[in-house]
Structure 1
Amino acid sequence: MDAILVADFIIKIQFRIRDICKELILTDDQLRMVMQKLDDEMNKGLSKATHDDAVVKCFPTYVQDLPDGSEKGNFLALDLGGTNFRVLLITLEGQSFDMKSKIYAIPQSLMLGTGTQLFDHIAQCLALFVKDLNLQDKVLPLGFTFSFPLDQQGLTRGYLVRWTKGFNCSGVIDEDVVALLEQAIERRSDVKIEVCAILNDTTGTLMSCAWKNRNCRIGLIVGTGTNACYVEKTKNVECAIPGNFAPHKSHMLINIEWGAFGERGVLDFILTEFDRAIDENSINPSKQLFEKMISGMYMGELTRLVLEKVVNAGLLFGGKCPSDLKKRGKFFTKYVSEIENDAKGKYTNCREVLAELGLRNVSDQDCENVRYVCSVVSRRAAHLASAGIATLLNKMGEDNVTVGIDGSVYRFHPYFHDLMTEKINQLQNHKFDLMLSEDGSGRGAALVAAVAAGHR
């Protein structure tokens, strides 16, 4: 009898946890509504008449050629998109390439300082890198991956729309970041670097995958942030600036900036109390709402908020909430991947994570319930990203499109790839393939520089 009562009690608790989580579980009808709204928002971004007021900007990248494998030479790539940046030297020769790279930190003070300080720091690191390789006397073409929303007005002109990912440097918004980098390099006058192209990490991902796989037509990032780009027919890119691209070329890459999707209430029908809490406590309230539901910068915190509610309802850890679980940012996104990586019925990683949060001697049932909450949050992220990709596949109307994907969430979460493959298939009918990108923001930047510099 006791065993039956215990089992009944466990089922009731699970049922109540599922009730708390139910708004995070999206139906296919809801996802199709997301797709319809994303398509509408993208059309506003592409149209000349509505581009300026559009939320989903669909910026032209002015990249109109994909690599064909014949690129050769030495190219620098600068990859700025988070708390670190990388400098790379990439040597291309047919289908072989050699890469040397170094990672440099950006201190918090520089992330929140002036733009001049930031770009002087980047130029200093570039110069050190080039001198270490004894290439300071060579003119080196550089591809600049700048993974923040950019209003691109040419291959080497990009104006920062807004900072994301914890950056807030003064004097950069509405400025041409290529010019800011060039001025910082000129102030030093000790290296010869020619900025050939500025691009987003999604563009780099697409280019890097296209170098290996000619079918790659979409680039996706699911990491600290999320964004996508795709190959659009040039005639549909009404917002591109005449004279800055070749109208006779049939296609152009579009940087969607889909992280902004959901502003102005468009996604209110799927926002939960947890999403609203994330948004209100972020440095950019009411902005980047799609990103806040998907990306690694927020996934751990979303999970923490759900867990905190479950504990406070008396359904987890005997209703006792450890102090670390009450603190914003203390439940890291990597914990979600680690907990879901446990084999079924085993809770080794989960117990390690909970120990880090000050919880020891937790029951298997508590671990199972923590894993369920993690899975609900990560599955919703995968399904929303899938709705985005399904929208693009429908828009392009082609079969056998390869989607190049990069980012820590996609790379390290144990089920993200499978969840996306399954859901994209359910949401649209075109054949497609998901391909893990190898260093899109590095190699891809060099490839854009190579194609732009005409080194074939």
Structure 2
Amino acid sequence: MESVKVFEDAAATLEEKCSNLILSNKDIKRVSTILLKEIEIGLCKETNKIADIKCYPTYVRNLPNGKEKGKFLALDLGGTNFRVLLIQLGEATPEKEFASREFPLPDLIRNSSGEVLFDHIAECLALFVKEFKVDKEILPLGFTFSFPCRQEGLTKAKLVQWTKGFTCSGVVGHDVADLLQKAIHKRDDVNIKIMAVLNDTTGTLMSSAYKQPDCKIGLIIGTGTNACYVEKVENMELWDGESDNSNQCIVNTEWGAFGDSGSLEFIRTNFDRALDSTTPNCGKQLYEKMISGKYLGEIVRRVLVYLAKEGLIFNNSSYVRLLEADTFKTKLLSEIEEKPENDLSDCKRILEELGITNFSQEDCAKVRYVCQLVSKRAAFMVAAGVATLINKINEKHTVVAVDGTLYRKHPHFRHLMAQKIKQLIRPGLTFELMLSEDGSGRGAALVAAVADRMDREETNRN
């Protein structure tokens, strides 16, 4: 009986040491309240410059209505490869994907000039449309450009800064759609018209809205996190577009920066602060650093090292490798939490792969406990954000389009989110979390398709 008491005492001490990772309902409601205020600051012209959440207008105002028809291209640029997608839409037939191709972007191109970059992309586009024998047609293009941009219109986005290893000269401060369109025109062998520039969050929303008209929120939970939602133009002081029959616009919140001004300090822990201090953008994207796949594994690692130094775990083990940053990847949380509570086989395997020796069954249970705490905190933080947007939209039923590796791969993230959202939304409101299919590809093509439909309808009215 004495051994049981010792184990219970150790568990109680462990829970006490990790208690600051547990968010109460009061904490989550406070996060939601602060987030709403930050969104309102971001939507206001006078305060937008100081807002953590920038709430950029995307100039995507109309959602798919099923009347889109024709062939459409999507270009998805955001890493060491870019992808081109061709889809066909018709009023009487379901969406059909013709083809998709990935093209590499070697270091030489990613670190050259903007002219070299966009000439290369235009050449690959030409090769693609010729391969699939659509080079004689007029092809509307949706351009997903996953770098920080200042959107100035549906087809105008100026690059704020390069990220992800790109350093191409002559692009920062310039309209990326214009640079690509000029490169396409210079070839004079294809007829491709850029109809829209967007980020992957907007594409996520549009991809699902084609099937679910009630879709009003797009959410990414992957390496990073961001959300967009449909807002009334009358609530957007930043709106400087045309006034027409559409009274709405998709707003890109860029909510990863929530908390950068200190509003989340009441729930940030020393683990969060220590992690933040090692990042290139220290003090920035603080909400994202508590949520996204780039950081959760590192938070778990730091908690485990702290507990080990406190003598609460790995007492008879060597854990030297665990002292190295980024050795505990976020995917390991999913692997450890996927099995039933009494099945610690994956945890044992992972600890062995990390070079930890002589660990006990109790150690494995503690590792799983820490993973669960960090995952649950992240899911509840996202839930607070989503519930805030649902309440702000204030429609009877809202579909939330979600994409991202963390959401797709983690065995419990969706359930934890849904559970907490249900507690936070107003009585009488309902919601659905819908896994979005290829927002950066299909969604971009659909934005182009809607823009093309609107142009045709305008022409017919005149």
Compute the TM-score of the two structures, normalised by the length of structure 1: 0.91
Matches of 2:183 and 2:320, distance apart in 1: 45
Matched, 1:72 2:85: no
Q: Distance in 1 between matches of 2:215 and 2:14?
A: 41
58, 61, 73: which one aligns with 1:61? 58
Encode CA deviations 1:143-163: one digit per residue, 9 max, x unaligned: 111233332110011123445
**1:263/1:8 CA distance change after superposition, 3 Å:** same
Name the structure 2 match of 1:363: 360
Aligned to 2:128: 129
Q: Does 1:222 align with 2:201?
A: no
CA distance in 2, matches of 1:41, 1:171: 34
Q: RMSD value over aligned CA atoms?
A: 2.4
Task: Tell me if 1:254 matches 2:251.
Answer: yes
Per-residue CA distance 1:252-281 (angstroms, 9 max, x = gap): 111111011111212122111121122111
Q: Is the Cα contact below 8 Å between 2:292 and 2:406 reproduced in 1?
A: yes
The correspondence of residues 30-429 of structure 1 with structure 2, limited to 5 A, is 30-94=27-91, 96-99=94-97, 100-106=99-105, 115=114, 118-163=117-162, 172-186=171-185, 190-241=189-240, 244-318=241-315, 320-359=317-356, 362-429=359-426
For 1:119 and 1:7, the matched residues in 2 are separated by 67
The code of the aligned residue for 2:204 comes to T
Where structure 1 has 5 or more consecutive residues not aligned to the other structure, the ranges are none
CA deviation after TM superposition for structure 1 residue 215, in Å: 1.0
Q: TM-score, normalised by structure 2?
A: 0.90
Q: What's 2:451 paired with?
A: 452
Task: Return the letter of the residue paired with 1:437.
Answer: S
Note the C-alpha offset of 1:251.
Answer: 1.1
Determine the C-alpha separation between the residues in 1 that align with 2:164 and 2:23: 26
Quote how far apart the aligned CAs of 1:70 are.
1.8
In 1: Cα distance, 2:76 partner to 2:398 partner: 26
Rounded Cα–Cα distance in structure 1 between residues aligned with 2:2 and 2:165: 49
The alignment partner of 1:385 has SS state of helix
Query: How far 1:319 moved relative to its partner?
Result: 5.9
Q: Relative to structure 1, is the Cα distance of residues 163 and 291 closer, same or farther in structure 2, using a 3 angstrom cutoff?
A: farther
Figure out how many residues of one structure are paired with residues of the other and give that number: 451
Structure 2 letter corresponding to 1:98 = K
Separation in structure 2 between the aligned mates of residue 91 and residue 379 of structure 1, nearest angstrom:
40
Identity %: 51
**Is structure 2 residue 401 aligned with structure 1 residue 436?**
no
Determine if contact 2:317/2:357 at 8 Å carries over to the other structure: no
Unpaired runs of 5+ in structure 2? 458-462
Once the 2 structures are TM-superposed, how far is the Cα of residue 386 of structure 1 from its aligned partner?
0.4
- Contact 1:46 / 1:239 at 8 angstroms: preserved in 2? yes
Q: Secondary structure at the match of 1:446?
A: helix
Shift of 1:122: 3.8
Note closer, same or farther for the CA distance 1:279–1:450 as it changes in structure 2 (3 Å cut): same
More displaced stretch, 16-25 vs 409-418: 16-25
Of 121-130 and 245-254, the range deviating more from structure 2 = 121-130
Is 1:22–2:19 an aligned residue pair?
yes
CA displacement at 1:371 relative to structure 2: 1.0
CA contact (8 A) 1:149 1:257 kept: no
**For the structure 1 residues 166 and 40, does the alpha-carbon distance in structure 2 shift closer, same or farther, using more than 3 Å as the test?**
farther
